[in-house]
Chains A and B, each alone.
Chain A
Amino acid sequence: MKLHEFQSKALLSIRGINVPEGRVALTPGEAREAAEALGVERIAVKSQVLAGGRGLAGGVRLVSSPGEVEAAAAAMLGRTLITEQTGPAGCRVNRVLIETAVRPVRSLYLSLLVDAARAEIAILAGAEGSEDIEQRLQSGETRLERLSLGTGDALEKAAVTGLAQRLGLGSNLHSAFASLLDQLRLAFVELDATLIEFNPLVVTEEGKFVAVDVKMIIDDNALFRHPELMALREEHDGDEIELVAQNRRLNYLRMDGNIGLAVNGAGLGLATLDMVRAANGSAANFMDIRTTATSLDVAHGFTLLLNNPAVRSILVNVHGGGMQPCDTIADGLGIAMRRTGRTCPVVVRLAGNNAEYARFRFANFGCKVIDCPDMWTAVNRAVSAAHGERS
């Protein structure tokens, strides 16, 4: 689960990490009030979207009066922000963060992440933080230092001192740097994070480290131990449909084609997408039915597909396993087809556990489906149906 900047900063601030003083605003008026309350000369107005690259895309502005804050907020709120990390669809800005602009003596890059290849938590740190750090790394202009944290172990003093020296931090900053790393490590473990990134991490004139921008991702699989984080989802401006699907034990992603796709299993789903593309088709979505989904969950999923006007045909590619037999999926599809009453070509490929039984279920529901013996035939039928060809 990605967190908004303001959510991340709140979580880190109560864990002892310095962040700029600030407040979230939903309207230009609130933004002005927030700026007045801060009462500082330089104010940052920051779009709150769940993707990076905002600065370069005009999603962050530095201004110097409450009036300018209000104008900047008005220009951001309700607009779609497209950055190099959002993809062409962009993200709608529903909130802005109004913050004291911190004057940096130095700007660093610092992140903690789960390094899957090495099965450990790693610290990455760079002597210069900036929005274009990826490009500068690629061109060799700058480099990152790396330290292993194992499963979240405390760092040896020597390792921290060594890192501080390689980053060019004066010895007067070493103890503040060490406590920052330790607080960050504890927060990372406690919050079940998979990423905490500060870019930039600023050193102020007073010798304080301040996290000026924060990106944070929490492990979805660990949310069961963090009901307080689960609640933060309410403030997310993510795709409504994707959220509904999540709650129905479906992994759903919106795409821009015209074939409504349902599969059981991520691997089979990826394989199906590849075949759809090979057959010159394009999917309207990716919907992976999890093993624990019930037929009613599945029905909700198919209702999403059937209610999507972009969908011209539906492709169901299921290999019934020991956990999710074909008939559960057939029941879900049957319920959804009856409920929505939409007629659109539905192509199914059923194999594996209870495939035969699933065909009886379709017959019982009175559902007309185009039943194909193998994946490739099904993919091609769905593609030609979506192109409007009668089969």
Chain B
Amino acid sequence: MTILVDQNTRVICQGMTGWAGTHYSAAMMEYGTRIVGGVTPGKGGTYHLNLPVFDEVAEAMNETGANASMIFVPPENAAAAMIEAIEAGMPLVVALTERVPVQDMLRVRAALKQSSTVLVGPNSQGILSPGVCKIGVMATGSERKGHVGILSRSASLTSEVIAQVSAAGLGQSTTVGIGGDAIHGLSMRDCMELFLADQDTRGVIAIGEIGGSEEQELAEFLAGIKPDIPVVGLVVGRYAPTERRMGHAGAFAQSAASDAGNKINALKDAGVIIAKSPHLVGETIREAMAAAA
């Protein structure tokens, strides 16, 4: 089994007729993802990549039975595209767009409050269930079907960890890039909850970094439920260059939670096995799963 996507996932691409939408939709279809149409306002009724294009998400859902949307709309209109998909009741929305303005994301999060949509991203590399479904921009080749769930705030580091897990002789159930922006959809905590409910996931890797407090929220959740499968954590950025600060409000808002050491300690206290170095994540999950078996 997988989380978020499976063999019945039918995907539309918002922004399919643009360069990125075209390029990645084609790559995903080649991987085996069932892409059933695209949405580009003003291009409804045309065909692109041999798929029907619609003006609106709601119409595309009705006509194609899509249950997931991926967004390749440029930053200028990305938030509007997310909100349209959320309002249309799309069950899963994966936003790949980078550099979405933060105040736009406030409106997206407000729209999410009244809906059951799961938003992944923005600034996400997407979701990959090896051999089943790929909704994203990640390169494929080093992934293997298996039982390790990976959730991550970083795209490049996810590819690295996938390769390490495969090299350690294991595979992945699903990998989820939750997105690197300060304000985004699915949180580390909620993604973990999905993995722990999945019968097929027998170990989880959580990749965090400096900034925000999601790792602490994840730690609090794990401390409360004490999962019966091993969870390995990696938090990077302990030696990141310090930025010049501007004013005091930032300091009040960020607090100590954004510090890597603080996150690592919180996760450790919650029973998470911390990888000793970024190059040892694959080995760490292999040992942890062998010990748990």
State whether A124 touches B252 (Cβ < 8 A). Answer: yes
CB <8 Å contact, B103 and A219: yes
**Cβ 8 A contact of A221, one of B75, B138, B140, B209:** B75
Question: What residue in chain A is nearest B153 (Cβ atoms)?
Answer: A267
A111 x B247 contact (CB < 8 A): yes
Closest to B154 in A: A267
A to B CB contacts below 8 Å, 11 in the list: A91-B244, A116-B102, A116-B182, A189-B103, A255-B241, A267-B155, A270-B240, A273-B236, A275-B279, A351-B160, A352-B141
In the complex the two chains form, is A353's CB within 8 Å of B239's CB?
Answer: no
Interface residue count on the A side (C-beta < 8 Å)? 75
The closest CB in chain A to the CB of B107 belongs to: A151
Give the docked Cα–Cα distance between A195 and B253 (Å).
11
Say whether A179 faces chain B, with CB atoms less than 8 Å apart: no
Main secondary structure of the interface of A (DSSP, over half): mixed
Whether A134 lies near B248 (C-beta < 8 A) is yes
* Alpha-carbon distance A107/B37, docked complex (angstroms): 59
- Considering the chains assembled together, what is the distance between the CA atoms of A377 and B242 in angstroms? 26
Given contacts A199-B247, A263-B156, contact A221 B100 (CB under 8 A): yes
Q: Is B212 an interface residue (CB 8 A)?
A: yes
B277 touches A376 (CB 8 A): yes
A27 at interface, CB cutoff 8 A: no
Q: A116-B212, A274-B236 are in contact. Are A215 and B247 (CB under 8 A)?
A: yes
Give Cα A109–Cα B140 distance, bound, in whole angstroms.
52
- Asked if A133 CB lies within 8 Å of chain B CBs, one says yes
Q: A269–B154 Cα gap in the complex (Å)? A: 10
Total CB contacts across the A-B interface at under 8 A? 205
Given known contacts A265-B154, A322-B27, A120 and B106 CB-to-CB distance under 8 angstroms: yes
The answer on a CB contact under 8 Å between A277 and B103 is no
Do residues A87 and B253 form an inter-chain contact, with CB atoms below 8 A?
A: no
Once the chains are docked, how many angstroms separate the CA of A348 from the CA of B36?
41
Query: Is B218 part of the binding interface, using a Cβ–Cβ cutoff of 8 Å?
Result: no
Interface: A363 (CB within 8 A): no
CA A211 – CA B183 in complex, angstroms? 29
Question: Closest CB-CB distance, A389 to chain B, in whole Å?
Answer: 21
Which residues of B are found within 8 Å of A114, using beta-carbon distances? 102-103, 106, 182-183
Question: B142 at interface (Cβ–Cβ under 8 A)?
Answer: yes
Contact with A along B234-264 (1 / 0, CB 8 A): 1011111110111111111100000000000
CB-defined contacts of B139 to chain A, threshold 8 Å: 320-322, 325, 352-353
Instruction: Return the CB mask of B92-116 against A: 1 if under 8 Å, else 0.
Output: 0000001111111111011000000
Q: Are A321 and B137 in contact (CB under 8 A)?
A: yes
Say which residue of A195, A199, A271 sits within 8 Å of B278 (CB atoms).
Answer: A271
